[in-house]
Amino acid sequence: MIVTFIGHRELRFDSSFRLQLKELLLSLIDDRNADTFLFGSRSDFNDLCLEVVSEIQKERPNIKRVYVRAEYPYINKDYENYLLGSYDATYIPENVADAGKAAYVERNYHMIDRADLCIFYYNVNYQPPFKPTNGKGIFSFQPKSGTKVAYDYAVFKKKEILNVFNRGGGRAKH
């Protein structure tokens, strides 16, 4: 079973949230044969999940951590070795390399498409901060949450979704 993680960029969590996440992942590994975990980047949730999966991997060496890149289609050996210090494999999906500003969205879509289960840290009430549309800050717009875009895509693709936002004290920072 392939599992992917997608969540808000910044979060705060308590120790019970981390423990519940670990218990959830152990049950997926032991009861549902989860063996491959896909990770993106630029998210506290991703960092937390990588930390927990890496801890579990010491006891369950058969699981695999895969970093799906949204940047750097070609990497040198030094950078690859650096990434392989935290992951067991890394790659960039073909359609992501030329996606420009949409690279992270396309990367997330790829991870969702490959996954049997999508674990989200998604606060339905979260809104990213307004962004200025010009240098003077007179006009601004409300950007979409990348996590919401990914969540909506996973729903559209009828993927199995676990949203862990309300478990154990996790909170998105605003």
The pLDDT value recorded for residue 101 is: 84
CATH 3.30.565.10 fits 2-172, yes or no: no
- CB of 104 closer than 8 Å to CB of 69: no
| 3-class secondary-structure state, position 54 | helix
- CB of 171 closer than 8 Å to CB of 27: no
Question: Domain ranges in the chain?
Answer: 2-172
The predicted-structure confidence for 52-68, as pLDDT tens digits, reads as follows 999 999 999 999 999 99
The predicted-structure confidence for 163-172, as pLDDT tens digits, reads as follows 998 764 444 4
CA distances from 31 to 62, 64, 119 (A): 14, 17, 16
